[in-house]
Amino acid sequence: MATTSLDLAKVRNIGIMAHIDAGKTTTTERILFYTGVSYKIGEVHEGAATMDWMEQEQERGITITSAATTCHWPLDDVDHTINIIDTPGHVDFTVEVERSLRVLDGAVTVFDGVAGVEPQSETVWRQADRYGVPRICFVNKLDRTGAEFHRCVDMIVDRLGAVPLVMQLPIGAEADFKGVVDLVQMKALVWSAEASKGEMYDVVDIPDTHAEAAEEWRGKLLETVAEHDEEMMEMYLEGQEPTQEQLMAAIRRATIASTHTENEGQPTFTPVFCGTAFKNKGVQPLLDAVVRYLPSPLDVEAIEGTDVKDQEKVIQRKPSEDEPFAGLAFKIMSDPHLGKLTYVRVYSGRMETGTSVLNSVKGKKERIGKIYRMHANKREEISGVGAGDIVAVMGLKQTTTGETLCDEKSPVILESMDFPAPVIEVA
Ligand code: GDP
């Protein structure tokens, strides 16, 4: 049985947030589809099986039932683990939504390309601001009549007060939506006719019709990045053109830094992508962007908790397996086959099957039963899990959501007792 020590730099714990009907479910399904198609375990290519499963599920209308689903995405031939944490509901300003925001490190906000920024997009945006969650945006449904990418970008400024970084320009519109200009690579990504079968897009030269707009928006992109990143500003002032790697690194830094506490009150800097989840156009570049621009658990330097006896005393836990174990139970679900499953984000140390840990809130010992990594179409039993990861645990008898599990010898409480009470929104 696998015991996993993940390379944390290659892990992304993300949520997908949206106003109802913007396409959160469809985008998530497409992500699971593409990651399933491309994921290889050892020599065995699992693609075909996953695809069959997705096709079957799609006929019945697939629903994602897990509170956290693990998938894999190769970027530049390097495998990355993406844990998608379900951010429940679209509307409620509830503890549950806030708790899920707490356990994720980054998010994708999906907008409807016709409706743009809708009221619930504003609500989730503000919640994510409150929890300092770095975000990228996906303007979806560009195939729909009346969809307008740039109007949505303007609304991100006007309604959300954010700094959108336009990363792509659509080529063609509505039924004629053919691809995007990638302003970092300065290439056109043209959706392949094979896209629905899991093929990637074709990378070609920017068509003449879009050359001028591409130059104009590339200029804006460089300027905006420079305004939010010192290294880029120096190069900008010296008239140096950044390499692709330098530019991507700067965008990543700016995206992560803009939600840091030291930048509180400053507008959120957010790279914006576009496409249509429905027709499989744009989801693969979005996955690349998740890996490229959203933080890994290592970017979250330390989580703060409190002493068990003294709520005033702050204790920090770093995302390292050398630290004492600390994790947060963020969701309890009933699995039709396994029964009660407790979803845990491990912040520090390791959690192993068969060991005893402390529920520091209740002051009770718990035995860790089987540990599972939940995939879209299967679950994988693992014997242990390290800092930065998210798994489901069987056998916890006393633990409820929001409670901390930790090393008995180094107790800590991760979620304060005065965690915000639910605020019910009045429509
Ligand atoms: P959610 O409520 O945000 O999870 O939205 P869904 O993913 O359930 O999508 C709402 C509706 O929009 C469904 O009927 C989808 O089939 C449809 N939809 C989602 N993405 C797209 C898209 O890119 N283009 C079009 N035309 N329809 C879409």
pLDDT in tens, 74-123: 999 899 999 999 887 555 556 777 788 889 999 999 999 999 999 888 88
Strands, DSSP E only, in 249-301?
269-274
Q: Which residue has the higher pLDDT, 417 or 76?
A: 76
pLDDT higher at 98 or 402: 402
* Residue 166 parent element (H or E): strand 163-166
State if residue 23 touches ligand 1 by the CB under 6 angstroms criterion. Answer: yes
Residue 144 near ligand 1, beta carbon < 6 Å: yes
Q: Is the CB of 283 under 6 A from ligand 1?
A: no
**For a substitution probing ligand 1, which of 24, 25, 26 has the most ligand atoms within 8 Å of its CB?**
26
- pTM to 2 decimal places: 0.91
Rounded to the nearest whole angstrom, what is the distance from the C-alpha of residue 276 to the centroid of ligand 1?
9
Percent of the chain with pLDDT over 90: 67
Per-chain mean pLDDT for the chain: 87
For residue 81, list its beta bridge partners. Answer: 11, 72
Are 319 and 297 spatial neighbours (Cβ–Cβ below 8 Å)?
A: yes
Inter-axis angle of helices 24-38 and 283-293, nearest 10: 80
List phi, psi (to 5°) of 301: -60, -45
Determine if ligand 1 sits within 6 Å of the CB of residue 276: yes
Which tens digits make up the pLDDT trace of 270-304?
A: 999 999 998 778 999 999 999 999 999 999 878 89
Residue nearest to atom 6 of ligand 1 (CA): 23
C-alpha of residue 22 to centroid of ligand 1, in Å: 6
Sign of CA dihedral 34, 36, 37, 41: positive
| Collapsed DSSP state (helix, strand, coil) of residue 243 | coil
Q: What is the pLDDT of residue 102?
A: 87
Q: Is the CB of 93 under 6 A from ligand 1?
A: no
The single-letter code of the amino acid at 228 is H
How far, in Å, from the CA of 344 to the mean position of ligand 1? 30
- pLDDT tens digits for 12-47? 999 999 888 899 988 998 888 888 754 443 333 444
Confidence of residue 326 (pLDDT cuts 50, 70, 90): very high
pLDDT number for residue 64: 59
CB 275 within 8 A of CB 178: no
Q: pLDDT digits over 234-266, tens only?
A: 999 999 999 999 999 999 999 999 998 778 888
Q: Is the CB of 87 under 6 A from ligand 1?
A: no
Residues 152-176, mean pLDDT to the nearest whole number: 97
Residue 13 to residues 16, 151, 297, Cα–Cα distance (Å): 10, 30, 7
Using a 10 angstrom Cβ sphere, with 0-12 exposed, 13-18 middle and 19 or more buried, the burial of residue 57 is middle
Q: How far, in Å, is the centroid of ligand 1 from the Cα of 141?
A: 7
SS3 377: coil
Lowest mean pLDDT among 63-72, 287-296, 411-420: 411-420
Q: Is 24 in the pocket of ligand 1 (CB under 6 A)?
A: yes
Q: Which residues are part of a known binding site for GTP?
A: 18-25, 86-90, 140-143
Within the chain, what is the greatest distance between any pair of CA atoms? 68
- Ligand 1 within 6 A of CB of 21: yes
CA 279 / ligand 1 centre spacing (Å): 10
Query: What are the tens digits of pLDDT across the range 130-153?
Result: 889 999 999 999 999 999 999 999
Q: Which residues are annotated as a binding site?
A: 18-25, 86-90, 140-143
For the CA of 29, the closest atom of ligand 1 is 7
Between the CA of 115 and the centroid of ligand 1 the distance, in Å, is 12
Rounded CA-CA distance 347/406 in Å is 10
CB of residue 277 inside a 6 A radius of ligand 1: yes
Nearest residue (CA) to ligand 1, atom 10: 21
Decide: 140 in ligand 1 pocket, CB within 6 A.
yes
- In the chain the first and final C-alpha atoms are separated, in Å, by 50
pLDDT interval class at 48 (50, 70, 90): very low
Of 3-7, 129-133, 255-259, 418-422, highest mean pLDDT: 255-259
Q: What is the dihedral of CA 283, 287, 292, 296, to 10 degrees?
A: 140
Burial bucket for residue 161 (CB in 10 Å: 0-12, 13-18, 19+) = middle
